[in-house]
Structure 1
């Protein structure tokens, strides 16, 4: 049996969200429809952006889950990513800090969904 995990993020505008995530991830979508777009993150893992499931998602509504971008390179790479995202105007919810598993920071997409950047296990 082949297994794949798709993490779905609800967004107001899938094409706009895809431009945002594509810029952050440095990649193009692997599948696109007007309301559902995915990014192939590697064997068995995809990020799906799905619009039209809720009306006018608000960044002010608390979120209880995160998309986590696990990166190689240690603290220097994480800090470089943080500075790059800051320069792009990405909303930063929490600056780099030690969270027990290593240095991490927390950002948000334009719809208020949380994006954590952390070290790869």
Structure 2
């Protein structure tokens, strides 16, 4: 049995960020405290937002990203892009073709990057 994985995104306001991610991904928290909120993604895999670390400045460079991998080809990627733009997300990179397929990048309210790409 493998150990559980929790991918933590540092944010300034955990409840606000949890609402953002919950709405964007269509999921509800599995665990919530005032500064740490986790979402179950798969068996033993979670995505969490945490505001307990040092204050996160919007100007801090982001060197990692959460990736949502979608099956179904370029049309599905473009459809998700349009749906998220309709929600008012900040677009960092519009849809384009890369060596791994169609992709785009948006940012959460703290500037953390969220990429959408095809399933490998």
Q: What stretches of structure 2 of length at least 5 have no aligned partner? A: none
* Equivalent runs, 1:5-16 vs 2, <5 Å: 5-16=5-16
Q: Quote the residue 1:62 is aligned against.
A: 61
How many Å apart are 1:54 and its aligned residue?
A: 1.6
Q: Distance in 1 between matches of 2:43 and 2:17?
A: 23
Q: What TM-score, normalized by structure 2, do the two folds share?
A: 0.95
Q: Distance in 2 between matches of 1:62 and 1:72?
A: 30
Q: Does 1:26 align with 2:12?
A: no
Aligned residue pairs, count: 120
- Measured on the aligned residues, the alpha-carbon RMSD in Å equals 1.0
Q: Quote the residue 2:109 is aligned against.
A: 110
Q: What TM-score, normalized by structure 1, do the two folds share?
A: 0.94
Q: Quote the residue 1:94 is aligned against.
A: 93
Can you list the C-alpha shifts for 1:13-66, whole angstroms capped at 9, x where unaligned? 1110000000011010111111100010012311011002122x2222211000
State the secondary structure of the residue aligned to 2:19.
helix
State the secondary structure of the residue aligned to 2:3.
coil
